[in-house]
Amino acid sequence: MLKKIVIAIDGYSACGKSTTAREVARILGYRYIDSGAMYRAVTLYFLEHHVAVTNPKEVDRALQQIRVSFAVSRKGNSEVFLNGLSVEQEIRQMRVSAAVSQVSTLKPVRLAMVDQQRKMGKHKGIVMDGRDIGTVVFPEAELKLFLTADLLTRAFRRQRELLERDEMVDLDQVIENLMERDRIDSSRTESPLKKASDAHEINTTHVTIDEQVDEVVRLSLSAMVAGRTATS
């Protein structure tokens, strides 16, 4: 039997991490966790409860009230739940995208999410995507990937996804949001977005989703076989 591994996928906003991670997990029979959805769920709660991110007491109080979990929907997709309610649609709205990177700079928020993410990966057999998965959450992951793509390609893809969810957003607004989030995510003090030294970099600009998925599955199988050789 091949050894179960942890697959960590990091990278900039909208370069196809989630789509790749979900499909790779389905093919390998692994669990898929979208760590960005967790930060988005916390942000949704903060917006709905008017939590002031500059007030540490309010942030701590809010975190005590927040329970983020995942469950598989009737359609077979993994959905994120906030205090027992599916928020999969709401968290993708631009108002959440506009606030999420600021919320994600907060140390107590990160500590709470990373703790939960590590518990989810305890038994391996998991694909997790985000910004700090290969660097902070699972520095020992057997396979680490760092996805990149041109800004315009990412913006077109994100605008199309929003349209599919009936949200019409101008391209320049999408571009501005991606650039601003990349800037905040890369420059924050707590777990900034950066490529782990042992991560494979994949540029997805001219690659189809199927090609991307094939490449990651191939790398995953090599990592599993390497693990088998190392332990046998």
Residues that bind ligand CDP (CB under 6 A): 13-14, 18, 35-36, 39-40, 100-101, 104, 130-133, 181, 185
Which of 180/214 has CB closer to ligand CDP?
180
Widest CA span in the chain: 55
- Contact (CB, 8 A) for 194 and 186: yes
Which of 39/146 has CB closer to ligand CDP?
39
Tell the smallest beta-carbon distance from residue 155 to ligand CDP (Å): 11
CA 104, CA 39: separation in Å to the nearest integer? 6
Tell the smallest beta-carbon distance from residue 226 to ligand CDP (Å): 25
Tell the smallest beta-carbon distance from residue 197 to ligand CDP (Å): 18
Which of 18/78 has CB closer to ligand CDP?
18
Tell the smallest beta-carbon distance from residue 230 to ligand CDP (Å): 28
Which residue of this chain has its Cβ atom nearest to ligand CDP in the complex?
A: 36
Q: Where are the alpha helices (DSSP H) in 10-106?
A: 17-28, 35-48, 56-65, 94-103
Q: Indicate the burial class of 62 (C-beta count within 10 angstroms; 0-12, 13-18, 19 or more).
A: buried
Tell the smallest beta-carbon distance from residue 166 to ligand CDP (Å): 18
Q: Where are the alpha helices (DSSP H) in the chain?
A: 17-28, 35-48, 56-65, 94-103, 107-120, 151-164, 171-187, 209-231
What is the chain's length?
232
Which of 107/228 has CB closer to ligand CDP?
107
Which of 44/224 has CB closer to ligand CDP?
44
The token duo for 178 is 């991606």
